Amino acid sequence: MSLKIALLPGDGIGPEVLAQAVKCLEAVEETFNQHFIFKEAPVGAIAIDKKGKPLPDATLKLCKESDAVLFGAIGDPKYDNDPEAKVRPEQGLLQLRKELGLFANIRPILSHPTLLDKSPLKKKVVNGTDFVIYRELTGGIYFGEKKLNEEGTKASDLCEYTEEEISRIAHLAFKAAKGRKKKLTLIDKANVLESSRLWRKVVAKIGESYPEITLDFMFVDNAAMQIILNPKQFDVILTENMFGDIISDEGSVIGGSIGLLASASVGEENALFEPIHGSYPQAKGKDIANPIASILSAAMLLEHFGLMEEAWAVKKAVDKSLKKGIVTPDLKANSQYGTNQVGDFIAHNIVDIEDDFLMNGENIDLGKSTII
Ligand SMILES: NC(=O)C1=CN([C@@H]2O[C@H](COP(=O)(O)OP(=O)(O)OC[C@H]3O[C@@H](n4cnc5c(N)ncnc54)[C@H](O)[C@@H]3O)[C@@H](O)[C@H]2O)C=CC1
Ligand SMILES: CC(C)CC(=O)C(=O)O
Ligand SMILES: [Mg+2]
């Protein structure tokens, strides 16, 4: 298979972690005889500096012409610390999601057996956690009308949803639940927000056509507590844009580091893969950022195109780095391994699935994920 992949490194640690994902895809090319055509383009703060806007036209064009986008991260303190800034790196990512129609952001949250002591939560609480968040990505408060009065003393952001926007992601989430533990939890704030009441109504109606799925509802404030008290109760979580953003960072505490969590953003025609973390500017250029979230995002890209053996090989190599302790300092204080070394180790361990089977006699189950 030949795939055109747009690489958008972005800002901060984005370029460093994305480079490790590319190394792994190059190892997949060599090992499995696949062909990837990589083309790179600026986005975020670097694009504002170079081209005057966070999503230059040529970057958007490249993404539209590619089979998939592999994204690093965007964001820079010079904008975060300037409330008056007229243009912001984050607008580039939001515009890209909208333009590509990426309405569903899929964020798997898993505990890893060798990392149970990395979570501040009790081992018995996190052990066996395996849920996935379906976060609506192109609607809600991040995209609603923004207002600031002339005096600069009153501001508002509108949260709007249509039945259609809710329904298309709800169907994806119900279908995902069918292949999992058959439970779907809608997280909302329907006791207060009109938009959440529409979510409940639409999702309950759609649930009638998925009778095998147990549907329940949870208010987001309670959910924020339940995710760290009893994460194993969840299977598929469906939620709106901002709630999904917040609870997924919270969920990363279960796995031991946000530097492990990958995501896929999908729509009717396009797909983008990115870590859930941001540009972690404090770590830029220090070779300490965990590249695994980016590498596992590349594995999700492979899965998206049905390259299951290839994705499995990447995840297996990630597993090996975790088991052997070849990890960045977020997972092992004073670790001697940096972003690049971890990336090299994982890339070198992407081996042909048949060889691995013969060497280790392992019972390989391609349908079962290790980290993602
Ligand atoms: N998708 C994106 O590109 C996103 C961009 N951002 C932007 O990123 C910038 C920084 O935002 P923050 O709130 O500090 O979030 P962040 O996710 O960049 O960092 C928060 C904390 O998470 C940890 N962390 C993040 N990535 C890591 C990695 N790969 N390895 C190890 N530890 C890691 C670090 O402890 C860091 O202090 C802002 O400008 C923000 O707007 C934030 C979230 C998502
Ligand atoms: C920076 C935001 C636009 C995005 C974000 O925090 C996320 O998608 O997790
Ligand atoms: Mg976020």
**Dihedral pair phi/psi, residue 165, rounded to 5°:** -65, -35
Residue 93 CA to residue 44 CA, distance in Å, equals 7
Average pLDDT over residues 21-26: 98
pLDDT at residue 371 tops 80: no
Write down the catalytic residue from 50, 221, 286, 324. Answer: 221
- 255 in ligand 1 pocket by Cβ < 6 Å? no
As annotated, the binding site for Mg(2+) includes 221, 245, 249
* pLDDT value for 372: 41
Residue 271 CA to residue 64 CA, distance in Å, equals 10
Domains of the chain and any CATH numbers? 1-102+270-372 (3.40.718.10), 109-266 (3.40.718.10)
Q: Is the CB of 330 under 6 A from ligand 1?
A: yes
Confidence of residue 367 (pLDDT cuts 50, 70, 90): very low
Measured in Å, residue 90 CA sits from the centre of ligand 2 at: 7
Q: What pLDDT, on the 0 to 100 scale, is given for residue 1? A: 84
Q: Which of 74, 90, 146, 274 to mutate to test the pocket of ligand 2 (most atoms within 8 A of CB)?
A: 90
**Does the pLDDT of residue 109 top 80, yes or no?**
yes
Q: Is 71 helix (H, G, I), strand (E, B) or coil?
A: strand
Note the pLDDT of residue 352: 75
pLDDT band of 357, cuts 50, 70, 90: low
Residue 244 confidence (pLDDT): 98
Q: Which-ligand-closest: CA of 293?
A: 1
Contact status, residue 4 vs residue 62, Cβ threshold 8 Å: no
Q: Which of 189, 232, 284, 320 is catalytic?
A: 189
Choosing from 130, 249, 319, 352, the catalytic residue is 249
Average pLDDT over residues 169-175: 98
CA dist., res. 286 & res. 12, Å (int): 10
Ligand nearest to the CA of 14: 1
Atom of ligand 2 nearest to the CA of 277: 9
Please state which of the ranges 85-99, 112-126, 228-242, 343-357 shows the lowest mean pLDDT: 343-357
What's the chain's average pLDDT? 95
Average of per-residue pLDDT across 346-357: 82
Segment 280-293, tens digit of pLDDT: 999 999 999 999 99
Q: Is 57 a catalytic residue?
A: no
145-159, 187-201, 343-357: range with lowest mean pLDDT: 343-357
Structure confidence at residue 324 (pLDDT): 96
Does the annotation mark 249 as catalytic? yes
Tell me whether residue 245 is one of the annotated catalytic residues. yes
Give this prediction's pTM.
0.96
Q: Cα(128)–Cα(206) distance, rounded to whole angstroms?
A: 29
Atom of ligand 1 nearest to the CA of 292: 29
| 189 catalytic residue (yes or no) | yes
Q: Is 82 a catalytic residue?
A: no
With cut-offs at 50, 70 and 90, classify the pLDDT of residue 370. very low
Whether residue 261 contacts residue 205, with contact meaning beta carbons closer than 8 Å, is answered with: no
Percent of the chain with pLDDT over 90: 93
* Closest Cα to atom 28 of ligand 1: 259
Supply angle C-alpha 145, 148, 151, rounded to 5: 165
**pLDDT over threshold 90, residue 172:** yes
Segment 315-334, tens digit of pLDDT: 999 999 999 999 999 999 99
pLDDT in tens, 49-63: 999 999 999 999 999
Whether ligand 1 lies within 6 angstroms of the CB of 290 is answered as yes
Residue 366 has pLDDT above 70, yes or no: no
Question: Residue 364 C-alpha to ligand 2 middle, in angstroms?
Answer: 35
Average pLDDT on 236-246 reads: 98
**Beta carbons of 45 and 56 less than 8 angstroms apart:** no
Query: For residues 244 and 234, is the Cβ–Cβ distance under 8 A?
Result: no
Name the closest-CA residue to atom 3, ligand 1.
Answer: 73
DSSP class of 182 = S
Q: Mind listing the pLDDT tens digit for each residue in 90-101?
A: 999 999 999 999
